[in-house]
Amino acid sequence: MNAVTSSATSSATVARGPAPQPAGPPAGTGPRGGGPARMSRRRRARTGWFFASPALIVIAAVTVFPVLFSLLLSFADVRLEYGGFRLLSLTGDHYAAVLSSPEWRYALVFTFGFTAVTVLLELVLGTAAALVLERLGAARGWVLAVLLLPWALINVVAAQLWGYLFNGTYGGLTWLFEQILGRQPDILGQPASAMGAMVVVDVWKTTPFVAIVVLAGLMLIPGDVYEAAEIDGAGAWTTFWKVTLPQLRPIMAIAVLFRILQAFGIFDLPFVLTQGGPGTATESLAMLGYKTLFQNLDIGRGAAVATTTAVIVISCCLLFLRVFKTQADEGGRA
């Protein structure tokens, strides 16, 4: 009986054959080969560049070429002629003339001051508005819609509306100040009040942008962070400084960076509201470049003003990012 069983088992083993072995990787696709997979990645990369190339060409045509052409004009002595202009020579005298002119220095000081004051006020007011909006319930949507109305207005329209309010003859704010102070102030006719009016208009219009950005950051903070702070006995003020504010720093840095770029290049607000006056009290660097180029028809010097403004803006943004990164690294090590 045992012999029969052994014979049957041997026959079954022979019929089934050897056990199948696990299949190995195909030739050429080992961890160090990567032939087909690598070729597929390269093909996808080439396809992506092919489809993105039209957009990149358009961006280069509308940004890179004008920047390079403006840089060339800033070193050029150009004469306007019928049908265009003629390049006479290439010199660097325009930069020396711009940097030594009192108009450029005053415009630089005004632009720096306007940028610093408006960005600081908008950051504080926008953060406060975002904290209030976060605690609203069903009314948040309606409040957001109303809050976004100033931001949705075109800068020229906003400046024109506020110009009516600040008008020295029939302005609503002028009448209100007359009732309170007993005299009719010329808000846009005095340097200090004209600067203050510009700050008010810019803060009124752009604070909603900062509020929306900060509100988005608040919505991303996990709730367990606040629960841990509450368990530790932290109050509202301590929670804001130790929990909320550190979590908001990256998104606030983005908002500040955008506002620095916008405020430093301000043109339409002073152009419509004050025309740079009284005198040159509210003349920004962008307005100075416009007047030099299109009113005085000094192409080389106008291009030099634009180039120096761009260099200053880029330097300020890089400095801000470096300071922010240093603080973030120190906070991470702490």
Amino acid 14: pLDDT: 39
The residue type at 267: F
Question: What pLDDT is recorded for position 42?
Answer: 81
- b/e burial code for range 56-95 (CB count within 10 A of at least 16 → b): eeeeeeeeeeeeeebeebbbbebeeeeeeeeeeeeeeebb
CATH 1.10.3720.10 fits 103-297, yes or no: yes
pLDDT at 9: 44
Q: What is the per-residue pLDDT across 131-150, written as a single tens digit (0 to 9) for each? A: 999 888 778 888 888 888 99
pLDDT value, residue 43: 82
The CA R_g of the chain, rounded to the nearest whole Å, is: 33
Q: Say how far apart CA 306 and CA 291 lie, in whole Å.
A: 11
Q: Does the reported pTM lie above 0.85?
A: no
pLDDT in tens, the chain (334 residues): 444 444 444 444 434 444 455 554 454 444 444 556 666 778 887 888 888 889 888 888 888 888 888 888 888 887 766 766 666 677 768 899 999 999 999 999 999 999 999 999 999 999 999 999 988 877 888 888 888 899 999 999 999 999 999 988 888 888 888 888 888 888 899 999 999 999 999 999 999 999 999 999 999 888 888 888 888 888 888 888 888 888 898 899 999 999 999 999 999 999 999 999 898 999 999 999 999 988 888 888 999 999 999 999 999 889 888 888 887 776 666 5
Residue pLDDT, tens place only, 220-234: 888 888 888 888 888
pLDDT at residue 136, rounded to an integer: 84
Enumerate residues 6+ apart whose C-beta is below 8 A from 110. 195, 281, 282, 283, 284
What is the predicted pLDDT for the residue at 274?
A: 92
- Contacts for 266-272 with beta carbons within 8 Å, 24 or more apart? 266/111, 266/114, 266/202, 268/155, 268/156, 268/159, 269/155, 269/158, 269/159, 269/198, 269/201, 269/202, 270/198, 271/159, 272/155, 272/156, 272/159, 272/160, 272/163
Query: What pLDDT was estimated at residue 76?
Result: 84
Residue spans of the domains in the chain: they are 103-297
3-state secondary structure of 19: coil
